[in-house]
Amino acid sequence: MARIAGMACMVVLASCVHPTESTTDFIFQIKKASHAEGFQWRMWQDAQQSRVCLEIRNPGDSKILATVYRDSATWSSDAHRSETAVVLGPPERGLATLSTTHLALISAWDSACFHWSGGAYTEFIRWEPALGKLARSEARDIGGKPEVDREKLLALRPAALTTYPFGDPLEGVNVRQEIPVVPILEYLESHPLGRAEWMRVMGWMMGELPARQADVKFQQVADSYERLRLDLAQKPMKPRVFTGSVQQGTWHAPGSKSFIARLLADAGLDYIVDADSERDNVKVPLEEMIVLSQSADAWGLVLHHPETLTRASFLDSDERHAMLLPPTHQVFVANTAQCDYFGWWVARPDVMLENLVTLFDDNHPWSYDVEPCFEWIAE
């Protein structure tokens, strides 16, 4: 059976990014993602051919939220099918996206925007090929404020609507019987490459060729990220940084096992937060945070500021900011009004990693043709 399952991986998943741990029982084989915790493939052999489905799992408790099949024949042949089953529509209908982040995960491997048929919150889209399709009515705006336009979605009839479980506007709605809905959990991943690896899910849903294209692109991103990370691992001096924001008098900072904590560590920085904290945000009293900030070399945060952000405007925006400045007065920001932090940059953690490295090392050249996302606040 192990031999059969191995053939299934070769036939169905033509591109398996890195050899990863597999487990086999008497019925099927599991192929895990390289870095992502939220999805895996399950493969088996029936009387006709090798079969594969995609299992989307909560990274926290491994509960299966959706089992995705490319066609009904694969669904019917699965002896382990359950109520979480989602059977995709014809791939030529493309994917509709509830989040602009999902669109970025498509754009990573589909430069012509061929496999995107429409989405919600289109006013936040920055990808020119997608904007062009909307302008030519080749893709449809399905709303998003205050909710998705279900009539437009039904008229579009995409191969699937990619959504998110938290705050899903279609939960419990009958439209799910007409439109396959696939939850995308990239925002729950604690590894930058884990988030980017969800591009492989988007490609897989569109068929064999798109799956290979997405696998190749992710491999390029992963290799680039790992090369730089390993170079930085030998760095002797690690600048101390903290990040987060003040809300109602309490400091909220990413936990030590969060995406941003891993990114900072891989960039050769020392993230000063409780080492025992988890992925979720950590609440720290403002008074304690003021003391902690005085041992830092820099403060980093993500914010939205429509105009050019200067030190003066930053300090004027909240009087508590002055109390949290580190002794160096160095503050770096990702201004979402100027960079697509929740879009393109999610799919390119290798570029984001180099962005942080060049920020703290003047001798490290910037090698990409995009403007950096993280920048020092101007005087």
Q: Please check whether residues 109 and 59 belong to one and the same domain.
A: no
pLDDT of residue 274: 65
Tell whether 145 and 56 lie within a shared domain.
no
Q: Is 287 found in the same domain as 274?
A: yes
Highest mean pLDDT among 97-101, 175-179, 210-214, 247-251: 210-214
- 371 and 239 share one domain: yes
pLDDT of residue 223: 98
In terms of pLDDT, which residue wins out, 131 or 28? Answer: 131
Is the same domain home to 193 and 258?
Answer: no
Q: How far apart are CA 27 and CA 74, in angstroms?
A: 15
For residues 364 and 240, state if they share a domain: yes
Are 73 and 98 in a shared domain? no
User: CATH number for the domain including 176?
Assistant: 3.40.50.1980
Check whether 26 has a pLDDT greater than 50: no
User: Is-contact 69 85, C-beta < 8 A?
Assistant: yes
How confident is residue 325, by pLDDT bands cut at 50, 70 and 90? very high
pLDDT(72) > 90: yes
Domain boundary among 210, 228, 246: 228
Phi, psi (rounded to 5 degrees) for 163 = -135, -170
Residues 344-371 have a mean pLDDT of 94
> At 121, phi and psi to the nearest 5?
55, 45
Chain centroid offset of residue 359 CA: 23
Using only C-alpha atoms, the chain has a radius of gyration, in whole angstroms, of 22
**Per-residue confidence (pLDDT) for residue 88, from 0 to 100:** 97
Tell me the residue range of the domain where 243 lies.
235-376
Answer whether residue 319 shows pLDDT above 90. no
Nearest to 266 by CA among 354, 343, 164: 354
Mean pLDDT of 361-366: 90
Confidence label for 3 from pLDDT (cuts 50, 70 and 90): very low
Q: In whole angstroms, what is the distance from residue 184 CA to residue 162 CA?
A: 6
Query: Of 228, 261, 294, which residue is a domain's last?
Result: 228
pLDDT at 16 over 70: no
Quick one: 256 and 332 in the same domain? yes
Side-chain-facing half-sphere of 3: CA atoms under 13 Å = 0
Looking at the predicted structure, is the pLDDT value of residue 205 above 90?
yes
Domain boundary residue, one of 228, 261, 290: 228
pLDDT at residue 140 greater than cutoff 60? yes
Most confident range, picked from 92-96, 140-144, 272-276:
92-96
With contact defined as beta carbons under 8 Å apart, do 134 and 122 qualify?
A: yes
What CA–CA distance (Å, rounded) separates 367 from 334? Answer: 19
Residue where the block lists tokens 């599991």: 30
Q: pLDDT tens-digit profile of 152-190? A: 999 999 999 999 876 666 766 667 678 999 999 999 999
Residues 273 and 300 in one domain: yes
The stretch 283-304 carries a mean pLDDT of 88
Find the mean pLDDT for residues 252-269: 89
* Predicted local confidence at residue 275, as pLDDT: 56
Q: What band does 279 get if pLDDT is binned at 50, 70 and 90?
A: low
209: left (phi over 0), alpha (psi -120 to 50) or beta: alpha
Residue 5 has pLDDT above 60, yes or no: no
What proportion of the chain, given as a percentage, has pLDDT over 90?
61
59, 102: one domain: no
The band of 8, judged by pLDDT with boundaries at 50, 70 and 90, is: very low
Q: Give the number of domains in the chain.
A: 3
168 compared with 367, residue with greater pLDDT: 367
Instruction: Please provide residue 263's backbone torsions phi and psi, each rounded to the nearest 5 degrees.
Output: -65, -45
Position 278 scores a pLDDT of 62
Pairing of strands 64-69, 50-57: antiparallel
pLDDT at 2: 38
**250 and 372, same domain (yes or no):** yes
Q: Residue 51 pLDDT more than 60?
A: yes
For the cut 60, the answer to whether the pLDDT of residue 239 exceeds it is yes
Are 266 and 284 in a shared domain?
yes
> Between 128-135 and 100-107, two packed helices, what is the crossing angle to 10 degrees?
110
Strand partners, 295: none
In whole numbers, what is the pLDDT of the chain averaged over residues?
87
